[in-house]
Structures are given as structure tokens and as C-alpha cells.
């Protein structure tokens, strides 16, 4: 099996931490993080973390390239908006694949004005005031052309407030005020198949521009908007855009970004692992999506917590690359096993383990842990071993999960999705 060395840079952003959560249990990936030596959460989250200067420092490209050679990095995920542009612009000098859109798209989406100009004939964008607003135009919204989160964004209700808000901004945008609900639409595009996923979520509570409470919603017309953005900007891999309702109820574009979003975990735990799929998309692997269609809500308070309706009587769980990962016990998987025991839920091991199963279970201290051990060979289907209609199935293999789901209609999970159940 091919294992890809993947670097996240800068790793301490909310974007970098989400990529870590998405990939740290994937057998296809060996994960590395890098960032500045200043205090951040990255050294605690990444098992392998290295110090690198930020893209604002003159020697960043040399040191990044040296680290890529040292670690034989295959792929880099830029995890900040400025890093996206910097790495895309220098990708020909970096000895690893930079997983983002073309440099043209990255530069265009870094500027809200350029983004709006590119899409204004395709979708609704905010009105921009290039001259002095009339008194009837207030309230207005001021934000930097190149910004992230809510930094520099201000609601203004008078000409005096407008002067104060625009003064510190090098390139202020004076926009119409959009008073309605705000949404993020997480997307995934394939260069051959086109747009494969567009999932909206409402931003119910935000901190520093990041959704700390968000939930998937059905948003009429959002797929059409996503396809127009995809076609115009030639997106591929993971990306997202944000919308807000205008006073008349129309959905207006706020921004587009060709990168992972910090709260994409909402759709990841339902089955769309955006970073892993982005790697597969670059390698031109055939891609299919398998989603659990549950209504969940994410609330973030230094960790992810989920509310969901999932109830089950039996957990069927795989051994190799699921409970045992890289010759170690997968702590999230074993936590799920013991959580089920505490709740009186049956746990059945369902494995194709090729070696001496009893010896392996003894070596990893898993012997006697399960209500039943089902050991099958390569010709037997796992779906034929599951009897309960209210069971769930945890397995690293997409093929096995696909077959179980389509034969039995039950929920299936890979290792990156387990956190939903904990």
C-alpha cells in the first residue's frame, strides 16, 4: 500500500487542525505539521511537528523546500489564505505537490473585489460602493479586500463611522449590508467528474470569523451557485464559499476559498473526508462518496462535540487498519469499543485477518474483549455476517463499507468518522 508523506503548513491554524483530525487515522497518510516557533496548538496536535518561518519572512521558501526534501514530503496542504497564494505562486520551486487550485484562482479568490468581478454575471454578489454613499444607503458593511475571519470588518451607520472604519484599511471594501443568515457551503470537485459535493451549513455562532456552532441545512439553489463558481474559477479538490441573505431574501456571495475550512468536520463525520479526497483527486483515483444522512450539530469549545440521533444495538468493527493501525491500538476505536460496553451495546469483531487471529488479539491485549469474534476469509462477504438491522459497521475499507451500506442500509464509518460517535 502506498503511504503518502503529507505536510500541513502552517499547522496551528484552525484549518491545519482540521486537516490533522481528518488524516491522522488514515492508513494512506503519514502526517507532518510545520509552523512558526511561537506558541500554538500544533505541537500538541501533530505527532511530528517542525518549525518553519511564516510566508511573510524572506527565507520561508528555502527552508520549506529543505524540510520537504528532508522528510521526502509528497503533498503540502496550505493552511492559511496567504499561505495558499504564496505556495501556489512558488509551486514550481517546491519539491512536493501543493494541494490547492491554480495560482490564477488562488490570487483571484484572495481578493474579494476580484472574486466579485469574476462572478457578478453568474451569481448575486454584494453591491460595492465606489463613490460616496447616500444617507439612504446606510447601514453599510466595511471589510478589507484581503482579509480572513472577521478582522477589520465593521458595520457602519453614518458617514462619520464610515470614515473611522475605512481609515486603517489599505484596501477597504464598502458593501451593502446583508442582514440575514450566513452560510458556508463545503464543496469537492473532480477535474473529470466536475462538482461531486456541495453541502451547506448555517453559521449559527462565530468567533473571530470561525463557525463555532454550525449545522448542515438544505439550502435551495446552492448547488447551482456551486456549479457556477466551479465552472468560472475552475476549482478542484476541496474548497468552500460563504453566502449571506440580503434584505430581500436573496443569497449573496461573501467569499470563495480554494482550501479546507476549519468546520468542514461537520461533513467529514458524515462521510466526506475532504483532505483525503483531495489527495485522491490529484492522483486521479476514481472517487465515489458515501454519506450518512443524519441531522447533526457541531459546537466547538476547544474540541468538537456533536449532537446526533444515532442509536444502535450492536457495533461491528474491523481489526486491521481499524482497531490496530500502524502496529498500534487506535485509541479512538478502542474508546468506542469501551463506550459501547459501558452502554450495554454488543461489540462484535468482524475481520479478515490473515495471520493467527488468537495470537494477534493476545499480543495487542484484545483477547476476550468482544461479545463475538467473526473470522472470515477473502471469499465471504462481511455484509452476510451482520444480522441486526440496527447495527453500525466500522471499517477502514471503502469497498466493505459500500457493500454493507447498500446491502443492509445501515450506517457505516471509517476511522476519521468515529469522533461523531464518541
Distances 47 to 43, 226, 263 between C-alpha atoms, Å: 7, 36, 22
Averaged pLDDT, 140-162:
87
Residue with cell 505541537: 43
Averaged pLDDT, 301-326:
93
Phi and psi at 201, nearest 5°, equal -145, 140
pLDDT digits (tens, 9 = 90+) for 377-388: 988 999 999 999
The yes-or-no verdict on residue 303 having pLDDT over 80 is no
> How far, in Å, CA of 321 to CA of 328, rounded?
9
| Cβ(112)–Cβ(143) below 8 Å | yes
pLDDT digits (tens, 9 = 90+) for 8-44: 999 999 999 999 999 999 999 999 999 998 888 999 9
Comparing 254 with 147, the larger pLDDT belongs to 254
What is the model's pLDDT at position 337?
Answer: 98
Residues 6+ apart with CB under 8 A from 391: 312, 313, 314, 315, 316, 408, 410
Domains and CATH numbers, the chain: 4-100 (3.40.50.20), 127-176 (no CATH), 180-300 (3.30.470.20), 310-421 (3.40.50.1000)
> How far, in Å, CA of 240 to CA of 233, rounded?
12
| Cβ(278)–Cβ(240) below 8 Å | no
Long-range contacts of 300-309 (CB under 8 A, 24+ apart): 300/210, 300/211, 300/212, 300/213, 300/263, 301/212, 304/21, 304/265, 304/419, 306/269, 306/419, 306/420, 308/420
Residue with cell 431574501: 249
> How far, in Å, CA of 396 to CA of 414, rounded?
5
The yes-or-no verdict on residue 150 having pLDDT over 80 is no
Interhelix angle 81-89/103-110, nearest 10 degrees: 150
> How far, in Å, CA of 323 to CA of 366, rounded?
10
What is the model's pLDDT at position 301?
Answer: 81
Phi and psi at 119, nearest 5°, equal -115, -5
DSSP 268: H
Given 3-state DSSP classes, what are the helix, strand and coil percentages for the chain, each rounded to the nearest 5? 30, 25, 40
The yes-or-no verdict on residue 357 having pLDDT over 80 is yes
pLDDT digits (tens, 9 = 90+) for 179-222: 999 999 999 999 999 999 999 999 999 887 788 999 999 999 99
Residues 6+ apart with CB under 8 A from 286: none
Give the residues across from 189 on adjacent strands. 195, 237
CA 37, distance to chain mean position in Å, is 25
Phi and psi at 240, nearest 5°, equal -155, 165
Averaged pLDDT, 410-419:
97
Rounded to two decimals, what is the model's pTM? Answer: 0.91
Lowest-pLDDT range of 169-173, 253-257, 266-270: 169-173
> How far, in Å, CA of 239 to CA of 261, rounded?
8
User: For all residues of the chain together, what is the average pLDDT?
Assistant: 95
Long-range contacts of 17-20 (CB under 8 A, 24+ apart): 17/41, 17/42, 17/45, 17/262, 18/260, 18/261, 18/262, 18/263, 18/264, 18/265, 18/268, 19/77, 19/79, 19/260, 19/275, 20/45, 20/46
Amino acid at each position: 500500500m502506498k503511504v503518502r508523506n503529507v505536510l500541513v503548513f502552517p499547522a496551528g491554524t484552525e484549518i491545519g487542525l482540521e486537516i490533522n483530525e481528518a488524516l491522522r487515522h488514515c492508513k494512506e497518510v503519514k502526517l507532518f505539521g510545520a509552523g512558526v516557533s511561537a506558541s500554538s496548538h500544533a505541537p500538541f496536535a501533530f505527532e511530528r511537528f517542525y518549525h518553519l518561518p511564516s510566508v511573510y519572512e524572506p527565507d520561508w521558501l528555502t527552508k520549506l523546500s529543505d524540510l520537504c526534501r528532508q522528510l521526502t514530503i509528497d503533498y503540502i496542504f496550505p493552511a492559511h489564505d496567504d499561505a495558499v497564494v504564496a505556495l501556489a505562486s512558488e509551486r514550481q520551486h517546491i519539491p512536493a505537490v501543493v494541494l490547492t487550485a491554480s495560482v490564477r484562482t488562488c490570487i483571484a479568490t484572495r481578493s474579494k473585489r476580484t472574486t466579485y468581478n469574476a462572478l457578478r454575471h453568474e451569481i448575486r454578489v454584494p453591491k460595492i460602493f465606489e463613490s460616496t454613499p447616500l444617507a439612504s444607503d446606510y447601514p453599510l458593511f466595511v471589510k478589507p479586500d484581503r482579509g480572513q475571519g472577521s478582522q477589520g470588518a465593521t458595520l457602519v451607520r453614518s458617514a462619520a463611522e464610515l470614515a473611522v472604519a475605512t481609515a486603517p484599511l489599505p484596501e477597504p471594501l464598502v458593501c451593502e449590508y446583508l442582514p440575514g443568515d450566513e452560510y458556508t457551503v463545503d464543496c469537492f470537485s473532480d477535474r473529470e467528474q466536475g462538482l461531486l459535493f456541495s453541502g451547506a451549513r448555517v453559521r449559527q455562532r462565530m468567533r473571530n470569523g470561525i463557525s463555532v456552532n454550525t449545522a448542515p441545512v438544505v439550502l435551495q439553489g446552492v448547488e447551482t451557485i456551486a456549479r457556477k463558481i466551479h465552472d468560472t474559477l475552475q476549482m478542484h479538490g476541496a474548497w468552500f464559499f460563504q453566502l449571506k441573505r440580503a434584505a430581500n431574501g436573496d443569497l449573496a456571495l461573501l467569499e470563495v476559498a480554494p482550501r479546507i475550512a476549519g468546520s468542514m468536520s461537520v461533513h467529514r463525520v458524515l462521510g466526506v473526508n475532504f483532505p483525503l479526497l483531495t489527495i485522491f483527486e490529484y492522483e486521479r483515483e476514481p472517487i465515489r462518496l458515501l454519506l450518512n444522512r443524519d441531522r447533526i450539530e457541531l459546537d466547538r469549545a476547544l474540541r468538537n462535540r456533536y449532537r446526533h440521533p444515532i442509536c444502535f444495538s450492536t457495533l461491528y468493527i474491523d481489526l486491521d487498519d481499524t482497531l490496530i493501525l500502524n502496529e498500534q491500538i487506535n485509541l479512538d476505536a478502542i474508546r468506542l469499543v469501551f463506550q459501547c460496553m459501558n452502554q450495554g451495546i454488543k461489540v462484535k469483531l468482524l475481520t479478515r485477518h490473515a495471520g493467527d487471529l488468537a495470537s494477534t488479539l493476545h499480543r495487542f491485549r484484545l483477547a476476550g474483549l468482544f461479545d463475538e469474534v467473526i473470522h472470515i476469509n477473502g471469499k465471504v462477504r462481511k455484509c452476510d455476517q451482520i444480522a441486526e438491522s440496527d447495527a453500525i459497521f466500522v471499517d477502514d475499507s471503502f469497498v466493505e463499507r459500500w457493500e454493507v451500506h447498500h446491502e443492509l442500509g445501515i450506517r457505516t464509518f471509517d476511522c476519521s468518522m468515529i469522533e461523531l460517535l464518541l
